[in-house]
Amino acid sequence: MNAVDLASLLCSRLCHDLMSPVGALSNGIELLADETDPDMRDKCIELLGESARTTANKLKFFRLAFGAAGGYGTDVNTSEAEAVMRGLFGADKRIELGWDVAGGRLPKSAVKLLLNLGLIAGDALVRGGRLDVGAEGNGEMVELVIRAEGPRVILDPLLRLTLTGGIGSGQAEPRIAGAWLAYALAAEGGGSIRLSDPADELLLIGATISSQG
């Protein structure tokens, strides 16, 4: 897959994920314009606030996970990564996030890899659960570990195949965008991605990437 294909997939994924909260904002504004009951207007404003926060949280996450957030430096403050991860998964309280990332800064490529793998693991918790994210520098490499556990954990087989480099460009579609980016980041950083067995009741993802950014 070339850079243009990847950019197209990432844009499609971002538009897909923002469609629902932005649509809710539009519908809420229309309802508010026609509503005269004070209690219902207050309810509309509350729903508009929730949709606005959801949209903002998604944009902040995707800006760091997919885009050029963090400036042009090679490192990113890990507190920024934690904030966008908690913003993405903390709103509906379905997923409890555990964060264990050593050090104050990590290479930008490592942060992007961590966020994309975290997104994939979080999406696999279809009925909620717990998501634990960890990272630690180990000499020339950064080691990442993501653990997802809940009542029902499902990792799309196509995502699994993409993460391990077993997918061709002819199979590309928006839902694999983050997985393909994660695979590319690990490969370009001299690392790899490992997955627990599909039969396991929980999902474990381990990855390594160069600490040189």
Domains and CATH numbers, the chain: 3-210 (3.30.565.10)
Q: What is the pLDDT of residue 19?
A: 84
Q: What is the pLDDT of residue 118?
A: 97
Residue 184 in contact with residue 162, Cβ under 8 Å?
Answer: no
Quick: pLDDT tens for 57-109: 999 999 999 887 655 568 899 999 999 999 998 776 789 999 999 778 899 99
Q: What is the pLDDT of residue 106?
A: 92
Q: What is the pLDDT of residue 116?
A: 96
In 19-149, which ranges are E strands? 75-77, 95-101, 105-107, 129-138, 141-149
SS3 75: strand
User: Which parts of the chain have pLDDT scores under 70?
Assistant: 1-2, 4, 69-73, 92, 168-172, 213
pTM of the model: 0.88
DSSP 132-201: EEEEEEETTEEEEEEEEESS-B---HHHHHHHTT---GGG--GGGHHHHHHHHHHHHTT-EEEE--TTSS
